[in-house]
Amino acid sequence: MSEDTPKVPERSLVVREPWATHIVEGRKRWEIRRYPTRVRGRIGIVSPRGLIGAVRLIDVLGPFAVEELLKHIDKHLATEEFLSAYAGARPLYAWVLDEPEVFDEPLAVERAGGPRVWVHRRQVRLTTPP
């Protein structure tokens, strides 16, 4: 691994665009999920382009109703329509993110079929996607 190759975190969170880019660029500091997590520390952010960067997952807040989250739109960037559709009738949680880092080039990720929330380091290739 060269000096220019980013250190790949043990686990990486799969996030849709444009949210993934907003996270690694530091504009989105809360990732909204339907459940809490015990994971803390540096995690990667995987988008359809590959592993695009990393952040530190420092806390989980909630549960929140959609109305409560709307008071913090500057942190999560999600609209009321999106939050309502995503939540259904369930409460939501804010995964608090810090120390965003954008990788110079995305790294290729071997993704298993079906919905996945986490990608493990062994699934990341230290090359850019084709």
How much is the pTM? 0.91
Residue ranges of the domains in the chain? 11-108
Q: Is 99 left (phi over 0), alpha (psi -120 to 50) or beta?
A: left
When the candidates are 3.40.50.2000, 3.40.50.150, 2.30.130.30, 1.10.3720.10, the CATH number that belongs to 11-108 is 2.30.130.30
Choose among 55, 48, 58, 49: nearest CA to 9. Answer: 55
- Backbone φ and ψ of 14, nearest 5°: -85, 125
Bridge partners of residue 55, in order along the sequence: 43
- Say whether the peptide bond before residue 63 is cis (omega within 30 degrees of 0): yes
Question: pLDDT tens digits for the chain (130 residues)?
Answer: 455 667 899 999 999 999 999 999 999 999 999 999 999 999 999 999 999 999 999 999 999 999 999 999 999 999 999 999 999 999 999 999 999 999 999 999 987 666 779 999 999 987 766 6
**CA 61, CA 128: separation in Å to the nearest integer?**
34
